[in-house]
Amino acid sequence: MRPAVFLDRDGTIIEERGYLDRLELLELYPFTVDAIRLLNRAGFVTVVVTNQGGIGRGIIDEPFLHHVHETLDARLAAGHARIDRYYFCPHHPDAVIPDLRRKCSCRKPASGMIERACREMSLDPGRSVTIGDRRLDIVCGNAAGTRTVLVRTGHGAHEEAMPPGTARPDAILNNLMEAVGWILRTSSR
Which residues are marked as active site? Answer: 8, 10
**Residue range at the interface with Mg ion (CB under 5 A); choices 60-68, 92-100, 121-129, 154-162:** 154-162
Q: Is the dihedral of CA 140, 142, 145, 148 positive or negative?
A: positive
Beta strands (DSSP E) in the chain are 4-7, 45-51, 85-89, 129-132, 147-151, 171-173
114 binds Zn ion (CB under 5 A): no
Closer CB to Mg ion, 8 or 115, in the complex: 8
Binding mask 129-168 for Zn ion (x = CB under 5 A): ----------------------------------------
104 binds Zn ion (CB under 5 A): yes
CB neighbours of residue 42 within 10 Å:
14
Which residue's Cβ lies closest to Mg ion? 11
Closest CA to 173 of 17, 46, 35, 4: 35
Site residues (vs Mg ion, CB under 5 A): 8, 10-11, 133, 154
